[in-house]
Amino acid sequence: MASILHFFLILLEVILLFNVIIIVHELGHFLAARWRGLKVEGFGVWFGKPIWKKEINGVVYSLGSIPAGGFVKLPQLAPMDIIEGETETPREQLPPISALDKIIVAFAGPLFSMGLAVALACGVWMVGKPVSEMESTTTIGMVAEESPAEEAGLLPGDRILEVDGQPARRFHGMVDSINWFIIRSEEEKITFKVERDGRELTIDSGYRLSPSTSKWGRDGLRQVGILPALTPMIEKVDPGSPAAEAGLQAGDVITHYNGKGLYNPILLSEVIAEGKETPVNLTVRRGDDWFNLTIIPKMMPVPKGEPTPRIGVQWSPGKFVLSYPGPVQQVVDGVSTIGNMLGALFSPKSDVKAQHFSGPIGIGNLYYQMLKSEDGWRFALWFSVFFNVNLAILNLLPLPVLDGGHIVLAIIEAIRRKPVNIRVLEMVQSACAIFIIGYMLYVTFYDVQDLPWRRLTGESPAGQAEAAP
């Protein structure tokens, strides 16, 4: 019961946060329209059949039954009947407005979204953004067996300096990250510049496509089979386990196994699983002290699985530190991320496709995963900066229905000195609206498959596709 209540509380937080972001965007259009004297028929929070509405000074304010953002009905802009419904006032009875007014009103939505992004970025600057140990490092912690990286000669402990000539600053993310450079690569070989034992080496690696999570899941993206370094620190020792009998304690760091450096605890778990009950020699650091010991793994049960060779420890998920990026840097990173995504989408050699993007369901799922974690509100605050920058820039694309389309139509109107033919405009707007709605349904099909359906039962969610946000 507690887990179900927790789920719905977080879900409520996701809905609230998502709606605030969308409503602020629409509020920009609304306030600009009132300022410029446009006819505003309605301002709605949420969609669907209204559960409340009231007319004030000629504007119908409403609260819908479907919690999915909001809208402003501006009949003097390009027709939006397919989305907002028919206007109450016949278009021929509406007074004309200038192209400049149309541009100002259309631009106000993205402007408010960008303003909210800056405000949230200031919040992140003050309270901090959690950065994991794995995110901040560029050191390889594990190389998968028989992977392209192993075949190329990459080793645990290598510090990656560049990927395809691009300097790498972190392992994960979409700005200057190793994972993104691998996904975004377009040649048959991916070139890594690494530092090993004080020497710089250049290594060319092949790649494989990551497996899809289901029969109808997203197509795989490029990967080479490497994981970031993570301090192999023990968080808990199971009572009566080989680790407990050997004297291991929470807080111990295992630095070596069988004389080899250990940079990621997953590697030791795999070595133990493959060696079954073969003794393993470990080097352990406890505070300022170092010592060696030998442990013989034994078959031990695992939650909802068959018994497997284990030593009986639970690993620390890694250290998180708070970074305090400046507001400008956060916004610039958000713009760079969107540029990277669109550049990859439209590149003919890229493996990134339209299916790898996410719609409202995918974004809501991301918010859920963030908010249920420790310091989740900090993660959500940081992601909201990117989301608002994303909302602002994508809405400025010169496509009918989007704000950028309204701006382009207004510019054409100013050049021609007369509005675009209303019948032509209706056809273009309707076609574009159908395309956008169709695309949203398309990405939602993939987003739904990424949802961990067994969340309410407390089971672990299925693995999710390695995809661009």
Q: Are 280 and 294 in contact (CB under 8 A)?
A: yes
Lowest mean pLDDT among 133-137, 226-230, 460-464: 460-464
- Does residue 209 share a domain with residue 238? no
Q: Which two tokens stand for residue 13?
A: 């937080």
Does position 88 have pLDDT exceeding 80, yes or no?
Answer: no
Binned at pLDDT 50, 70 and 90, residue 80 comes out as: low
Range 319-325 average pLDDT: 89
pLDDT digits (tens, 9 = 90+) for 324-379: 999 999 999 999 999 999 999 999 889 999 999 988 888 988 898 889 888 889 99
Q: What is the pLDDT of residue 456?
A: 39
| Distances in whole angstroms, Cα of residue 306 to Cα of each of 189, 310, 456 | 39, 12, 23
Q: What is the pLDDT of residue 256?
A: 95
Q: What is the pLDDT of residue 225?
A: 95
* Residue ending a domain, choose from 272, 296, 317: 317
Does position 48 have pLDDT exceeding 50, yes or no?
Answer: yes
* Residue ending a domain, choose from 323, 343, 365: 323
User: Domain for residue 96, yes or no?
Assistant: yes
Total residue length of the chain? 469
Binned at pLDDT 50, 70 and 90, residue 222 comes out as: very high
Query: Total structural domains in the chain?
Result: 3
Neighbouring C-beta atoms of residue 443, cutoff 10 Å: 19
Q: List own/partner pairs for 99-103 with CB under 8 A and 24 or more apart.
A: 99/410, 99/411, 99/413, 99/414, 100/410, 100/414, 101/36, 101/37, 101/38, 102/76, 102/77, 102/406, 102/407, 102/409, 102/410, 102/413, 103/406, 103/407, 103/410, 103/411
- Does residue 429 share a domain with residue 414? yes
User: Domain for residue 357, yes or no?
Assistant: no
Q: Which two tokens stand for residue 108?
A: 């106000």
Binned at pLDDT 50, 70 and 90, residue 457 comes out as: very low
User: Domain for residue 338, yes or no?
Assistant: no
pLDDT digits (tens, 9 = 90+) for 148-164: 999 999 999 999 999 99
| Buried-exposed string 36-73: b where 16+ CB fall within 10 A, e elsewhere | bebbbbbbbbbbeebeeeeeeeebbebebeebebbbbb
- Does residue 297 share a domain with residue 190? no
Neighbouring C-beta atoms of residue 448, cutoff 10 Å: 13
- Does residue 207 share a domain with residue 182? yes
Neighbouring C-beta atoms of residue 143, cutoff 10 Å: 24
Please tell me the pTM assigned to this model.
Answer: 0.84
Domain that includes residue 168, residue range: 132-226+318-323
Q: What is the pLDDT of residue 20?
A: 92
As beta bridge partners, residue 222 has 209
- Does residue 219 share a domain with residue 260? no
Q: What is the pLDDT of residue 1?
A: 60
pLDDT: which is higher, 373 or 239: 239
- Does residue 190 share a domain with residue 242? no
Does position 86 have pLDDT exceeding 80, yes or no?
Answer: no
- Does residue 141 share a domain with residue 74? no
What values do phi and psi take at 416, rounded to 5? -80, -20
* Residue ending a domain, choose from 303, 323, 343: 323
User: Domain for residue 343, yes or no?
Assistant: no
User: Domain for residue 124, yes or no?
Assistant: yes
- Does residue 447 share a domain with residue 403? yes
User: Domain for residue 335, yes or no?
Assistant: no
CA proximity to 131, closest of 195, 177, 194, 180: 177
Q: What is the pLDDT of residue 213?
A: 67
CA proximity to 222, closest of 349, 96, 409: 349
- Does residue 80 share a domain with residue 136? no
Does position 450 have pLDDT exceeding 90, yes or no?
Answer: no
User: Domain for residue 350, yes or no?
Assistant: no
Q: What is the pLDDT of residue 458?
A: 39
User: Domain for residue 462, yes or no?
Assistant: no
pLDDT: which is higher, 386 or 426: 386
Q: What angle do CA 225, 338, 173 make, to 5 degrees?
A: 30
Percentage of the chain modeled with pLDDT above 70: 91
Q: Are 297 and 272 in contact (CB under 8 A)?
A: yes
Q: What is the pLDDT of residue 466?
A: 33
Q: What is the pLDDT of residue 467?
A: 34
CA proximity to 121, closest of 366, 430, 389, 312: 389
Does position 92 have pLDDT exceeding 80, yes or no?
Answer: no
Q: Which two tokens stand for residue 36?
A: 């410029």
Q: What is the pLDDT of residue 300?
A: 84
| Distances in whole angstroms, Cα of residue 10 to Cα of each of 16, 240, 353, 366 | 10, 37, 31, 12
Binned at pLDDT 50, 70 and 90, residue 452 comes out as: low
- Does residue 69 share a domain with residue 167? no
Range 32-52 average pLDDT: 91
- Does residue 84 share a domain with residue 36? yes
Range 65-85 average pLDDT: 74
* Integer Cα distance of 206 and 188 in angstroms: 6
Range 86-96 average pLDDT: 67
Binned at pLDDT 50, 70 and 90, residue 84 comes out as: low
Range 233-246 average pLDDT: 93
Helix, strand or coil for residue 315?
Answer: strand
CATH number at residue 273: 2.30.42.10
Q: What is the pLDDT of residue 459?
A: 37
* Integer Cα distance of 354 and 356 in angstroms: 5
* Integer Cα distance of 98 and 419 in angstroms: 10
Q: What is the pLDDT of residue 430?
A: 83
Binned at pLDDT 50, 70 and 90, residue 136 comes out as: confident
CA proximity to 389, closest of 334, 428, 328, 455: 334
Range 63-76 average pLDDT: 87
What's the whole-number average pLDDT of the chain?
A: 87
Query: Residue 297 carries which side chain, given as an amino acid letter?
Result: P
- Does residue 17 share a domain with residue 103? yes
